[in-house]
Amino acid sequence: MAKNITPRATNFPQWYQDVIAAGELADNSPVRGCMVIRPNGYGLWESMQEKLDRMFKETGHVNAYFPLLIPQSFITKEAEHVEGFAPELAVVTQAGGKELEEPLVIRPTSETIIGHMYAKWIQSYRDLPVLINQWCNVMRWEKRTRLFLRTSEFLWQEGHTAHETYEEAQEETLKMLGIYKEFLEDVCAIPVIPGAKPEHEKFPGAVTTYAIEAMMQDKKALQAATSHNLGQKFAKAFEIKYLGRDNQEELAWTTSWGCTTRMIGGLIMTHGDDDGIIVPPRLAPLQVVVIPIYKTEEEKLAVLDFADQVALRLRAKLSNLKVKVDYREDMRPADKFFTWIQRGIPLRVEIGPKDVQNKGGMLVRRDNRQKVFCALEGIEEKAAEILENIQADLFKKAGDFMRENIRPAETYQEFKDILAGPGGFILAHWDGTKQTAELIQSETKATIRVVPEDEKDKPGKCVRTGKPSSQRVLFAVAY
């Protein structure tokens, strides 16, 4: 057992922090609420970026960059937007030793400045759609922060698109939600539930907000990504107008969508075990680590030579960077095992004198510790197969866990019993009012996460008020 990680059952939040420290994923910075993302953590982010970026580009999006600082007046142009973000803005009031004429806001998100630029760039329906994404940092001065899950500054991508019609914008909004779902499930092996957010949980300035929700091992919900149909609200505020096919001036329809470094927190809390993080193979920057084991100088020569042969084969199959041989001489094998375990590397190959003799290596899975001996010949195929199995098993395990912990509640007593007992997600009817949602939240801490697509047209009676309800919604205690 890990000696530097509190078991999940003992204290889940402490476990989470310990896993981050043990895996050297991130550290607190001297600046309140900000984190330093260490190479092991940043590697995960780079990998997420790489996969997502590809998916964005394959769907026609391009990258650009907009500035960090936004004129304060921009934020105030859209009424809901300013109301939503004002409390958490960091503002620059001085620069170059002088008080600024107009304070500059450090972007909490970039709808406003991008809207401003789009207004300039878009003149005609021929300029549409505009499909731009940017990878950047944003700042929201949160009261309470937790590494990866909620930090004052975080990294993310924000896509901003402008379209000719509502339908196109809506299609884009749902397409991107689908891409997030695909990414989370296929790459991160994190099962998610997509759906629309209720009115009162929308992004400030959105017509409709969609999100995907994941279940952590403590059965709390984590919003993993969001996609907003902004209607014409920002177009109106920033005068993004175009001359239509009918020679009439019209407002564009815009969307925005984003996901953040929070996903790393989700990854930890979905797959991690008491020994630390487990990185799904498709996401892992490093998939296989080869550990040579020897005592004598003679053994060392033979073992290292053989380990290199193994690595050569693995690299040919998995690519150079996905395989590492741990040559360090000042560390004993057991110590190496643990450090790689705590970094969540999916597969370990142990090469000792016995293995050299038997012309093979011992493959050890990170997720379930299964060990299997494999001959040098074909070891790369076997490794690739195991990696895919790990990927599938992680997803299945997380999916089973989530499904087992989604329960319907007909009565409020049932609702409360579930939260007090097993916990998890609850499907229940809701009368659609903010008042009722807030009542339920204050009484149980549970919030409406999303309205799942296949639950939105199910009439019934509100679990709290008994009033008519047109939909079942997903409730959970959330991060």
Partner RNA sequence: CGGGGUGUGGCGCAGUCUGGCUAGCGCACCUGCUUUGGGAGCAGGGAGUCGGAGGUUCGAAUCCUCUCACCCCGACCA
Q: Which residues bind RNA (CB under 7 A)?
A: 1-5, 13, 17, 22, 28, 32, 84, 87-88, 140, 142-146, 149-152, 154, 203, 211, 223, 226, 260-262, 275, 293-295, 332-335, 337-339, 341-342, 350-356, 362, 364, 369, 441-442, 445, 478-479
| Distant-in-sequence, close-in-space partners of 459: CB < 8 Å, separation ≥ 6 | 468, 469, 470
Q: Indicate the residue among 131 and 349 with the shorter CB distance to RNA.
A: 349
Q: Indicate the residue among 128 and 138 with the shorter CB distance to RNA.
A: 138
Q: How far is the CB of 302 from RNA (least distance, A)?
A: 10
Q: How far is the CB of 143 from RNA (least distance, A)?
A: 3
Instruction: Answer yes or no: are the C-beta atoms of 284 and 64 closer than 8 Å.
Output: no
The closest alpha carbon to 280, from 211, 200, 215, 187, belongs to 187
Q: Indicate the residue among 400 and 438 with the shorter CB distance to RNA.
A: 438
Strand partners, 351: 292
Q: How far is the CB of 196 from RNA (least distance, A)?
A: 14
Tokens standing for residue 234: 């920002």
The closest alpha carbon to 231, from 195, 256, 199, belongs to 256
- How many whole angstroms separate alpha carbon 69 and alpha carbon 33? 20
- How many whole angstroms separate alpha carbon 439 and alpha carbon 415? 13
DSSP 325: E
CA pseudo-torsion sign 2, 30, 85, 254: negative
The one-letter amino acid code at 97 reads G
The closest alpha carbon to 192, from 440, 452, 372, 433, belongs to 452
Q: How far is the CB of 91 from RNA (least distance, A)?
A: 15
Q: How far is the CB of 428 from RNA (least distance, A)?
A: 19
Q: How far is the CB of 248 from RNA (least distance, A)?
A: 35
Q: Indicate the residue among 116 and 262 with the shorter CB distance to RNA.
A: 262
- Buried/exposed 133-148: b ≥16 CB within 10 Å, e otherwise: bbbbebbbbbeebbbb
Instruction: Answer yes or no: are the C-beta atoms of 106 and 90 closer than 8 Å.
Output: yes
Q: Indicate the residue among 4 and 411 with the shorter CB distance to RNA.
A: 4
Q: Indicate the residue among 284 and 356 with the shorter CB distance to RNA.
A: 356
Q: Indicate the residue among 294 and 430 with the shorter CB distance to RNA.
A: 294
Instruction: Answer yes or no: are the C-beta atoms of 53 and 47 closer than 8 Å.
Output: no
- How many whole angstroms separate alpha carbon 208 and alpha carbon 174? 11
- How many whole angstroms separate alpha carbon 470 and alpha carbon 461? 8
Q: How far is the CB of 393 from RNA (least distance, A)?
A: 16
Instruction: Answer yes or no: are the C-beta atoms of 285 and 323 closer than 8 Å.
Output: no
Q: Indicate the residue among 252 and 362 with the shorter CB distance to RNA.
A: 362
Give the H/E segment covering residue 148. none
Q: Indicate the residue among 47 and 145 with the shorter CB distance to RNA.
A: 145
Q: How far is the CB of 140 from RNA (least distance, A)?
A: 5
Q: Indicate the residue among 139 and 169 with the shorter CB distance to RNA.
A: 139
Q: Indicate the residue among 68 and 243 with the shorter CB distance to RNA.
A: 68
Q: How far is the CB of 332 from RNA (least distance, A)?
A: 4
- How many whole angstroms separate alpha carbon 405 and alpha carbon 53? 32
Q: How far is the CB of 59 from RNA (least distance, A)?
A: 22
| Distant-in-sequence, close-in-space partners of 416: CB < 8 Å, separation ≥ 6 | 443, 444
- How many whole angstroms separate alpha carbon 56 and alpha carbon 58? 5
Q: How far is the CB of 57 from RNA (least distance, A)?
A: 23
Measured CA to CA in angstroms, residue 228 lies from 109, 205, 257 at distances of 13, 9, 6
Give the H/E segment covering residue 322. none
